[in-house]
A and B are shown apart, each in its own frame.
Chain A
Amino acid sequence: EPEVTQTPSHQVTQMGQEVILRCVPISNHLYFYWYRQILGQKVEFLVSFYNNEISEKSEIFDDQFSVERPDGSNFTLKIRSTKLEDSAMYFCASSELLGGQFFGPGTRLTVL
């Protein structure tokens, strides 16, 4: 069964450093998303991406964040200058136009 994959599973970084989180969505899906979950809290939407551009973003997704689809398979989330409060689980998801979104296993980001 096709699945969304994410790398790395765990990333530790120093405050102020740049990180890139990688995702490979399900191959025939056209919509891609990033969500985050701070430990013990609910899952929050960050951004959606369709047709090589951002279709929607939340208030959390400020200028420190960017997304890219550098090739036909990868979808990345970059945080330019990490802060302590960026520590969270980051989930990539993908979907067709309608229906459910399928999530990857997540990347746990720890900012020290």
Chain B
Amino acid sequence: AQTVTQSQPEMSVQEAETVTLSCTYDTSESDYYLFWYKQPPSRQMILVIRQEAYKQQNATENRFSVNFQKAAKSFSLKISDSQLGDAAMYFCAYRLYGGATNKLIFGTGTLLAVQP
């Protein structure tokens, strides 16, 4: 069964600095998606970035980028130039690409605090 692990329950970063959130996963599949979702205090789940496993190039979305290491089954999120609005819970998630299931499997989350 696929699992997603986020080993950092909490992280803190100074405004304008860079922070990296870690995620590892376990799967025997070769084709899948990985995602980072942001959950601010409103508890809305916001899709931040996605990565297709077949793509070697790391995904980027403005100040957000990932470091995808397929062999190591690692998928970290880097937030550059951190802003106060980045403070939230961040969830890493896995989804099989095609196949019989397309449910998301989430990690336990990392709570990011941004210090002014």
Task: How many A-B residue pairs have C-beta atoms within 8 angstroms? Tell me.
Answer: 58
**Complex alpha-carbon distance, A93 and B42, angstroms:** 17
* Given A31-B102, A42-B109: A100 touches B91 (CB 8 Å cut-off): no
- The reply to whether A45 and B103 contact each other, CB–CB distance below 8 Å, is yes
Interface residues of A, CB < 8 Å — how many? 25
Stretch among A18-26, A70-78, A102-110 lining the B interface = A102-110
- The reply to whether A56 and B50 contact each other, CB–CB distance below 8 Å, is no
A-B CB contact pairs (8 Å), 22 listed: A33-B104, A35-B104, A37-B43, A42-B106, A42-B107, A42-B108, A43-B45, A43-B104, A43-B106, A45-B104, A48-B101, A48-B103, A56-B102, A56-B103, A91-B45, A98-B97, A98-B98, A101-B47, A103-B47, A105-B43, A106-B43, A106-B44
Apart from A31-B102, A91-B45, A99-B33: 13 A-B pairs, beta carbons within 8 A: A33-B103, A33-B104, A37-B43, A41-B108, A43-B45, A44-B106, A56-B101, A89-B43, A93-B104, A100-B35, A101-B47, A105-B44, A106-B44
Which residues of B come within 8 Å of A, CB atoms? Answer: 33, 35, 37, 42-47, 50, 91, 93, 95, 97-98, 100-109
